């Protein structure tokens, strides 16, 4: 059962985001990017207040995703990415992004914190960061 409201266009948009942000990280990496996006919608905290829908999350400015500024994001979503997007919409979570609100790809090691948020781990090239439960209980 979906943890957020969505329609076919939203699913397509999320699928394109997963591919654009993490195709090189494989299915699990794309699922983790999806976790971060869904957490931003359900969290209603910190930088993500009043982000209630997938388009709000994808195009948030400032604070949104870098991929939307590149042509790669605007390619047609493939069925494989749509299936991954549906899994995160249905609430599946994957560590270290389970409670994450941020990720980035550093040149070297992951810093212990990023904008005062704790590093929850690394998957391939991406580092993930989560708020404390007291700062954003909805993502826990």
How many CA within 13 A on the CB side of residue 54? 23
Q: Cα separation of 36 and 72, whole Å?
A: 20
**pTM (two decimals):** 0.96
DSSP state of 53: S
Burial environment of residue 60 by CB neighbours within 10 A (0 to 12, 13 to 18, 19 or more) = middle
Q: What is the pLDDT of residue 32?
A: 98
**pLDDT tens by residue, the chain, 140 residues:** 999 999 999 999 999 999 999 999 999 999 999 999 999 999 999 999 999 999 999 999 888 899 999 999 999 999 999 999 999 999 999 999 999 999 999 999 999 999 899 999 999 999 999 999 999 999 99
Distance of CA 52 to the CA centre of its chain: 14
Cβ atoms of 96 and 107 within 8 Å: the answer is no
Residue 123 forms beta bridges with which residues? 126
At 77, is the secondary structure helix, strand, or coil? coil
Q: Which domains does the chain have, with CATH numbers?
A: 8-139 (1.10.10.2520)
pLDDT at position 62: 85
Q: How many CB atoms lie within 10 A of CB 74?
A: 10
């Amino acid at each position: 059962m979906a943890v957020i409201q969505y329609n076919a266009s939203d699913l397509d948009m999320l699928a394109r985001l997963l591919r654009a942000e993490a195709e090189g990280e494989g299915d699990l990496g794309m699922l983790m990017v999806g976790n971060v996006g869904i957490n931003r919608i359900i969290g209603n905290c910190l930088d993500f207040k009043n982000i209630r829908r997938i388009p709000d999350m994808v195009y948030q400015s400032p604070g949104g995703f870098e991929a939307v500024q590149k042509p790669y994001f605007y390619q047609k979503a493939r069925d494989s990415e749509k299936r991954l997007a549906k899994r995160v919409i249905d609430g599946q979570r994957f560590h270290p992004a389970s409670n994450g609100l941020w990720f980035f790809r550093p040149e070297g090691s992951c810093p212990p914190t990023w904008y005062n948020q704790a590093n929850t781990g690394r998957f391939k090239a991406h580092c993930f960061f989560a708020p404390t439960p007291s700062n954003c209980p909805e993502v826990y």
